[in-house]
Structure 1
Amino acid sequence: MTDVAVVILAGGEGRRIGGAKPLRQLGKRRLINWALDRAQCWSNVVAVAVRDFAQAPSVNAEIVQDDAVEGPFGGLAAGLKFVRTKGYPFLLTIPADMPFLPPDLLDRLRAAIEDFGCAIASSGGHAHPVCGLWRASTLEKVDDYVLSGGRSLKGFSALVGAIEVEWAAGQKDPFFNINSADDLAEAEKRIT
């Protein structure tokens, strides 16, 4: 896709897993590399959004710094600025801690977005706003949202108008995310 840039959200502290979550190994690769491999299937314009540049050393992508807003919303805001500088109308966000994202993520979100501000992945009845296709034009609403006290991706997606796209979760939810050592061990079982 020539009109979509991908930004990997990797700015969290990862306290539940002992820090440096994007650099944790799953199999023989770091979590950030799992995300990069998937992102590069969807676009040749890929960036990693981090709070601190030390969170993503030695990555084959541009690094952008999160806006001064706590949580993944800071990464989205930085990503929207990034996509605007590239002149692309769409931004796909994915997190660094979901190594099994479905290959059809971009295609299905793209098919659903229509006139909405964003299309958000969902599975098992749970929205995953970190996996979203966002119109670059939603950047215009970021400052007012932050000034109003908004900090969540869910709140921002509601503000800009969102549609959820459901995937079957089953036993192997493609949106399984790694937050703890137990989650990492579970993910290891899935790849062996």
Structure 2
Amino acid sequence: MKKIDGVILAGGQATRMGGADKGLIQLNGRPLYRYVLDVLAPQVHNIAISANRNQALYSESGIHVFSDTLPGFFGPLAGMLSGLESMQNEWVAFVPCDVPFVPADIVERLWQGRDNALAAYIDDGERSHPTIALLHRSLAANLRHYLEQGERKLMLFLEGEGAKRVTYPRPECFINFNTPEDCLRVEQQLRNKS
């Protein structure tokens, strides 16, 4: 496998979290992004966090933090663009900060499943997860143009670039946390299991 960099996407507005920064929401006393960091870091050569606020808090992890290069909140594609433009290796794996149970072999699966495409994303057999993706840095110019045209749909961009859908049939690994209640519910489930 080539050297692949990793980016944790934590730059959203988190409107369903009541505006709270999703990556910093606590699950069992740890911020959500730390779960992703702990799993993603061993899989990649370099890792960084895309965040548009609370950068000092994210920096406490010792990881490089960058913000979107396009002004305004343009969604996950803006974080992906900044990641492609700021990371050093040819390939960049992206995982959002609100998917704490992402598998420990996700980068390898994306790499193997991409075939010869310049992009790949995860599908759990029930739904697609386009923010869990592997992109080649050469896509940065196309992505910038796409965003500057006012487009925002991540899946539309990936399909336009011929991205491969990589099936990883474990939906429980790709649960994302959209509300504080989601965190509380999972904490309760984890307590009940122990």
TM > 0.5 fold call: yes
Q: Equivalents in 1 of 2:115, 2:2: separation in Å?
A: 18
1:115, CA displacement in angstroms?
1.6
1:99 equivalent in structure 2: 100
Question: How many aligned residue pairs are there?
Answer: 187
Change (3 A) 1:11 1:55: farther
1:57, CA displacement in angstroms?
4.7
1:54, CA displacement in angstroms?
5.2
Change (3 A) 1:189 1:41: farther
Which residue identity is paired with 2:86? F
2:12 equivalent in structure 1: 12
2:146 equivalent in structure 1: 145
Which residue identity is paired with 1:168? P
Is the Cα–Cα contact under 8 Å of residues 51 and 66 in structure 1 kept in the other structure?
Answer: yes
Which residue identity is paired with 1:175? F
1:109, CA displacement in angstroms?
0.7
Q: Equivalents in 1 of 2:40, 2:62: separation in Å?
A: 11
Change (3 A) 1:114 1:33: same
2:83 corresponds to 1:89: no
Q: Equivalents in 2 of 1:20, 1:72: separation in Å?
A: 14
Aligned-residue CA RMSD (Å):
1.8
1:13, CA displacement in angstroms?
1.8
Change (3 A) 1:138 1:55: farther
1:41 equivalent in structure 2: 42
Q: Equivalents in 1 of 2:96, 2:26: separation in Å?
A: 15
2:29 corresponds to 1:28: yes
Equivalences for 1:20-169 in 2 at 5 Å?
20-52=21-53, 53=55, 56-68=58-70, 70-83=74-87, 86=88, 88-169=89-170
Q: Equivalents in 1 of 2:17, 2:111: separation in Å?
A: 33
Is the Cα–Cα contact under 8 Å of residues 12 and 75 in structure 2 kept in the other structure?
Answer: yes
1:144, CA displacement in angstroms?
2.1
Which residue identity is paired with 1:106? V
Q: Equivalents in 2 of 1:67, 1:191: separation in Å?
A: 38
1:135, CA displacement in angstroms?
0.9
Which residue identity is paired with 1:178? F
Q: Equivalents in 2 of 1:121, 1:60: separation in Å?
A: 28
Runs of 4+ in structure 1 displaced over 4 angstroms?
none
Q: Equivalents in 1 of 2:26, 2:125: separation in Å?
A: 27
Q: Which runs of 5+ in 2 are unaligned?
A: none
Deviations 1:95-129 (A, max 9, x none): 00000001121111100112212110011431111
Q: Equivalents in 1 of 2:17, 2:149: separation in Å?
A: 32
Q: What is the TM-score when the length of structure 2 is the normalising length?
A: 0.88
